[in-house]
Structure 1
C-alpha cells in the first residue's frame, strides 16, 4: 500500500525516506486512503494520481486547520500570537516553495513533474499538520 507511492516518489526523483519511515511506523487514515487510491487499477494515469494526491492534500489541509484551531483554543493570548505568526510564516514558506517548484518544473517536459509538485505540496502540508498534532498532544498531556 505504501509501496506504490514510495515507488512513484522515487521514480520522479524525490527522496521519501522520512515519509516512508513514518508510514511504516503508524499509518494515518489519510495516508491509508491515499495508498488505496493510488493502488486502484483505474488510477494508473498521471491525472488520476494527481487527483489522489490532491484529495489527500485537501484532507491534510483540513486536518491542519482543525488542529490549529484546537491548539489556539487552549493557548494564552501571548502564545496565540506566537502560533499565529509561526503559522503565517509556514504558509508563506509553503506558498513560495510551491511557486518555485511550478516555475522550475514548468519548464520540463512531461506530465510526471505535475506529480512532483503535488506530492511535495502534500508532504509540506502533511508535515505541518503532524507538527500541530504533536503540539496538541503536549497541551493535552500537560492539562
Structure 2
C-alpha cells in the first residue's frame, strides 16, 4: 500500500512541475472573460449564466480549431493522420454528448440544468483545447 501511495505521490509531483501545467497557472483570457461575464448583473438569471457559458464555449471551440491547426502543422504525415482520427473521435463524442443532453431526462430537471449543461459544454471544449495545446507544448 505504501509503495502504491509513494508511486502516486511521485507521479503527482512530476505533473506539478511539467511545462504544460506551468502554463496553466496563468488565467486564460477566455476564463477571465467568463468570470467577468458571470460577475455582471445580467448573469444573476439562468438565461444570463447560460449566455456567459455559451460565449465561453464558442471561444473555446475556436481555440480547439486554432490549437488543432497549430499542432497539426508541426507533425509528420503519419502523426497528423493519427491526430485527425482522434479529433474525429472527439467530435463524435461531443455530438453524442450533446444529443444526450437534449434528451427528455434534461427537461424534467428544472431551470438550473441549463446552466449545468452550458458549463459542462464549455468545459468539454476547454479540456480539448488545453489537451491540444499541451501536445504542442511538449
Bin of the TM-score, shorter chain as denominator length = 0.7 to 0.9
Secondary structure in structure 2 of the residue aligned to 1:60: helix
Cα displacement (A) at 1:108: 1.2
Q: Distance in 2 between matches of 1:46 and 1:60?
A: 21
Count how many residue pairs are aligned between Structure 1 and Structure 2: 116
Distance change >3 Å, CA 105–CA 26, structure 1 → 2: farther
For residues 35-69 of structure 1, give each alpha carbon's deviation from its aligned partner in whole angstroms, at most 9, with x where no partner exists. 11001123211111111111110111111100100
Match of 1:97 in 2: 97
For residues 11-43 of structure 1, give each alpha carbon's deviation from its aligned partner in whole angstroms, at most 9, with x where no partner exists. xxxxxxxxxxxxx94321100110110011232
Cα displacement (A) at 1:74: 1.1
Match of 1:117 in 2: 117
Distance change >3 Å, CA 105–CA 118, structure 1 → 2: farther
Q: Distance in 1 between matches of 2:113 and 2:105?
A: 6
Q: Distance in 2 between matches of 1:93 and 1:104?
A: 19
Cα displacement (A) at 1:102: 2.0
- Structure 2: which 5+ residue stretches go unaligned? 1-23
Kindly report the root-mean-square deviation, in angstroms, between the aligned alpha carbons of the 2 structures: 1.8
Higher relative contact order (CA 8 A, sep 6+): 2
Of the two, which has the highest radius of gyration?
Answer: 2
Contact 2:71 2:133 in 1 (8 A): no
| Correspondence list, 1:6-25, <5 A | 25=25
- Structure 1 runs of 4+ aligned residues shifted over 3 Å read none
- Structure 1: which 5+ residue stretches go unaligned? 1-23, 139-143
Match of 1:132 in 2: 132
